[in-house]
Amino acid sequence: MKVKIFSILLLALLFLSTPVTFAAFDQFGYNYQARIFVGKADGVDRVLNGKVWGDPTYADDMLVMKWSKAWDDARFHGAPWTRDAWCTNEWNGAVAGGSGEVWHYKIIWVGSELENSQYWVDGGYPIWGQFETIMDHGIIGGEGHYWYAHAQPNGLG
């Protein structure tokens, strides 16, 4: 009985003393292991200066970005772009000091053929030379809800 208890305690001690590594967010809001950004838009350009790429308009907005493994592999690790590459952006400027705008975007890779690509989805618009925004909608300071893209189907990956 004592050996059994000792074995259980020994295993528990080994388990508890083994360092567990969790993916962490950096000071800007990125967690590259989880493929997500969560934080003020100010950090998205990796410069905490009260601006987003030099413009203070959206710096205090909250932003959640997510991207697929295929996006991560192509963008950061040199893999070829594939139809499984996508990212989303959820902007929330309805916060203290925010822009007052709230937007949700879904973006997929379609290749340089854009509208002529076999991956193109009707209802979207081209962006960045080889991507399609398949969903773009939001509000501007309570003025109304605007839809600029709502491709059908609207799923990712």
Overall domain count for the chain: 1
Range of the domain at 102: 21-150
- Close Cβ partners of 29 (under 8 Å, ≥ 6 residues apart): 37, 38, 39, 40, 43, 44, 63
CA distance 99 to 118: 37
Question: Can you give the pLDDT at residue 22?
Answer: 55
pLDDT band at 157 (very low <50, low <70, confident <90, very high): confident
Residue 46 falls inside a structural domain: yes
Residue 69 falls inside a structural domain: yes
Residue 145 falls inside a structural domain: yes
Residue 155 falls inside a structural domain: no
CA distance 134 to 81: 17
pLDDT band at 142 (very low <50, low <70, confident <90, very high): confident
Residue 6 falls inside a structural domain: no
Question: Can you give the pLDDT at residue 125?
Answer: 97
Residue 109 falls inside a structural domain: yes
Question: Can you give the pLDDT at residue 2?
Answer: 40
Residue 134 falls inside a structural domain: yes
- Residues facing residue 107 across a β-bridge: 87, 133
pTM: 0.82
CA distance 83 to 149: 19
